[in-house]
C-alpha cells in the first residue's frame, strides 16, 4: 500500500507568497530607481546645455539694448547670480512641478505650448508606426520565407529607397503629385481653417476627438490632411521594419528547430508564424519601440514640409529664435518619452519572453 504524500504546510505556502511579494517589490523599486536616475541624468544634461551654450539668457529676455540696471535686475530675478549647484536644484524643482518657464516666442508657459503641440506629433507618429507594423512586418516575413524570389527583391528595394531618399524631398514630391496635381489629399496643415475649433479637445487627437463628437466632416478633413505625411513617415517605417524583420527571420529559419518542426510534418504556416516569428517577437518589440521613438523625435523635416503643428516644428522655431526655455522643455519631454518607451519595452519583454522573468 502506497504511503500518501504529506499535505503542503500552510506556513510554507505563506512563506512562498511573502517571498513572491518581496521579489515583486524589489523589482518595482529597482524600476523606480532606474527611472529616477535616468531622469535625473536627463535633467542634468538639459541644465548644462542651457547654461553652457554661447547665449546669454538675460539678453534673450531683454534684448541687446537693455540697460545695465535692467540687466542686473533680470539676472537676479532669474537666479543666475547663485552657484551652479543651487541653480540646478531650483531647475529640478521647477521641472518636477511642471514649470519649464515662459516661451519667448509665444509668451505662453512652455508646458502649455507642449500640451498643445505634442498631441499632433503623437497622432502622426502613431499612425506612421501602425502603418509600418501592419505592412512592414508581414513584408519582412514574406521576404525571408521567399528568399531570393520576387517578393524578397521588392522588400529589399523598398528598404533601399527608404534608406536613401531624403524625407523632405519625398514629402515635396508627394505634395506636388497627390495635392497639387491629383487633388487626392488636402494640403499642408492639420485641418482646414473652416473646421478649426469645431471639435472640443479631449484626447488631443483630431481624428479621435472628431469621431467622439460625431463630427464626421471634421474627421474626413483631418484624415485628408494627415494621410500624406503619415504615409511618408510610414514608408520609412515600413522600410526599416521590413528590413529588420527579414534579417531576424532569416536567422531563425536557418535554425535546427525549424528543420525539426518541418520534419515532424507541422503545417508551414504554423512553423513560420508560431515558431520562427514567435522567437523574433521580443527583439522586434525593441525595433518597433525605437521606430516609434524616432518618429516622435525625428519627424522635424516632415512637420516643416507639411506645416504640421507638432513638437518638431515648435522645437525648430524655438531654436531659430533662441528660445531656450522652449528648446530645453521640448528636449526634456522627448527624452522622458524615450525613457517611458524603454521601460514599456522592458516590461513587454517579461510578458512575451519567460527567460526574462
Could you tell me the CA-to-CA distances from 118 to 14, 208, 256, 296 in Å, in that order?
Answer: 48, 15, 47, 9
- Domain contains 332: yes
Residue 184 to residue 166: CA distance in whole angstroms: 23
- Domain contains 47: yes
Q: Are residues 122 and 80 in the same domain?
A: no
Residue 190 and residue 226 in contact, taking contact as beta carbons nearer than 8 Å: yes
- Domain contains 303: yes
Q: Are residues 75 and 139 in the same domain?
A: no
Q: Are residues 166 and 284 in the same domain?
A: yes
Identify the pLDDT of residue 230.
93
Counting the structural domains of the chain, the total is 2
Q: Are residues 121 and 201 in the same domain?
A: yes
Q: Are residues 181 and 35 in the same domain?
A: no
pTM for the model: 0.81
Identify the pLDDT of residue 142.
93
Question: How many other CB atoms are found less than 10 A from the CB of residue 357?
Answer: 8
* Distinct helix (H) and strand (E) counts, the chain: 16, 0
Q: Are residues 87 and 181 in the same domain?
A: no
- Domain contains 51: yes
Residue 210 and residue 106 in contact, taking contact as beta carbons nearer than 8 Å: no
Residue 172 to residue 178: CA distance in whole angstroms: 10
The three cell numbers of residue 52 are: 553652457
- Sequence-ordered list of residues with C-beta below 8 angstroms from that of 254, at least 6 positions apart, any chain: none
The three cell numbers of residue 157 are: 528595394
- Domain contains 19: no
- Domain contains 102: no
Q: Which domain holds residue 140?
A: 116-356
- Domain contains 222: yes
102 strand-pairing partners? 109
Query: DSSP characters for 123-184?
Result: HHHHHHHHHIIIIIHHHHHHHHHTTTSHHHHHHHHHHHHHHHS-HHHHHHHHIIIIIIIS--
Q: Are residues 40 and 124 in the same domain?
A: no
- Domain contains 108: no
Identify the pLDDT of residue 102.
82
| Chain Cα centroid distance, residue 79 | 34
Q: 268-278 in b/e burial notation, b at 16+ Cβ within 10 A?
A: eeebbeebbbe
Q: Given 44, 64, 96, which residue is the final one in a domain?
A: 96
Collect contacts of 48-54 with beta carbons under 8 A, ≥24 apart.
49/328, 49/331, 50/91, 50/324, 50/328, 51/84, 51/87, 53/324
Q: Are residues 216 and 179 in the same domain?
A: yes
- Sequence-ordered list of residues with C-beta below 8 angstroms from that of 239, at least 6 positions apart, any chain: 136, 158, 159, 161, 162, 163
Q: Are residues 91 and 204 in the same domain?
A: no
Q: Are residues 248 and 138 in the same domain?
A: yes
Residue 337 to residue 118: CA distance in whole angstroms: 11
Identify the pLDDT of residue 167.
86
Identify the pLDDT of residue 231.
92
CA angle 45, 49, 53 (to 5 degrees): 165
* Straight-line distance from the first to the last Cα atom of the chain, in angstroms, rounded to the nearest whole number: 42
Ramachandran quadrant class, 160 (left: phi over 0; alpha: psi -120 to 50; beta: rest): alpha
The three cell numbers of residue 85 are: 549647484
Burial (0-12, 13-18, 19+ Cβ within 10 Å), 234: buried
From the first residue on, what is the mean pLDDT of each consecutive set of 10 residues in the chain (357 residues)?
A: 54 66 79 81 81 69 73 75 81 84 83 90 92 93 91 89 86 91 88 85 86 90 92 91 92 87 86 87 86 80 88 85 82 84 78 63
- Sequence-ordered list of residues with C-beta below 8 angstroms from that of 315, at least 6 positions apart, any chain: 300, 326, 327, 330, 331
CATH number at residue 352: 1.10.3720.10
Identify the pLDDT of residue 225.
92
Q: Are residues 184 and 296 in the same domain?
A: yes
Identify the pLDDT of residue 11.
55
Q: Are residues 53 and 125 in the same domain?
A: no
Identify the pLDDT of residue 328.
84
% the chain with pLDDT above 70: 90
Amino acid at each position: 500500500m502506497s504511503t500518501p504524500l504529506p499535505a503542503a504546510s500552510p506556513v510554507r505556502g505563506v512563506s512562498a507568497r511573502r517571498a513572491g511579494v518581496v521579489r515583486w517589490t524589489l523589482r518595482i523599486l529597482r524600476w523606480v530607481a532606474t527611472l529616477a536616475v535616468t531622469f535625473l541624468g536627463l535633467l542634468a544634461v538639459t541644465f548644462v546645455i542651457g547654461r553652457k551654450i554661447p547665449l546669454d539668457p538675460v539678453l534673450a529676455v531683454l534684448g541687446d539694448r537693455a540697460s545695465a540696471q535692467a540687466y542686473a535686475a533680470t539676472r537676479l530675478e532669474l537666479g543666475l547670480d547663485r552657484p551652479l549647484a543651487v541653480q540646478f536644484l531650483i531647475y529640478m524643482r521647477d521641472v518636477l512641478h511642471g514649470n519649464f518657464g515662459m516661451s519667448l516666442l509665444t509668451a505662453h508657459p512652455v508646458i502649455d505650448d507642449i500640451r498643445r503641440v505634442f498631441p499632433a506629433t503623437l497622432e502622426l507618429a502613431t499612425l506612421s508606426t501602425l502603418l509600418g507594423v501592419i505592412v512592414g512586418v508581414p513584408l519582412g516575413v514574406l521576404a525571408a520565407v521567399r528568399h531570393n524570389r520576387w517578393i524578397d527583391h521588392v522588400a529589399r528595394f523598398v528598404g533601399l529607397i527608404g534608406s536613401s531618399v531624403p524625407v523632405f524631398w519625398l514629402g515635396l514630391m508627394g505634395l506636388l503629385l497627390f495635392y497639387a496635381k491629383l487633388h487626392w489629399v488636402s494640403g499642408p496643415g492639420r485641418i482646414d481653417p473652416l473646421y478649426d475649433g469645431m471639435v472640443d479637445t479631449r484626447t488631443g487627437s483630431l481624428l479621435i476627438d472628431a469621431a467622439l463628437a460625431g463630427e464626421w466632416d471634421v474627421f474626413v478633413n483631418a484624415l485628408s490632411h494627415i494621410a500624406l505625411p503619415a504615409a511618408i513617415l510610414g514608408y520609412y517605417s515600413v522600410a526599416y521594419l521590413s528590413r529588420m524583420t527579414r534579417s531576424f527571420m532569416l536567422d531563425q529559419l536557418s535554425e535546427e528547430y525549424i528543420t525539426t518542426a518541418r520534419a515532424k510534418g507541422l503545417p508551414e504556416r504554423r512553423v513560420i508564424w508560431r515558431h520562427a516569428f514567435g522567437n523574433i517577437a521580443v527583439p522586434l518589440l525593441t525595433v518597433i519601440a525605437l521606430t516609434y521613438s524616432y518618429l516622435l523625435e525625428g519627424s522635424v523635416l516632415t512637420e516643416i514640409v507639411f506645416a504640421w503643428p507638432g513638437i518638431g516644428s515648435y522645437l525648430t522655431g524655438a531654436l531659430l529664435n533662441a528660445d531656450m526655455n522652449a528648446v530645453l522643455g521640448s528636449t526634456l519631454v522627448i527624452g522622458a518619452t524615450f525613457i517611458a518607451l524603454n521601460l514599456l519595452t522592458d516590461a513587454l519583454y517579461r510578458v512575451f519572453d519567460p527567460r526574462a522573468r
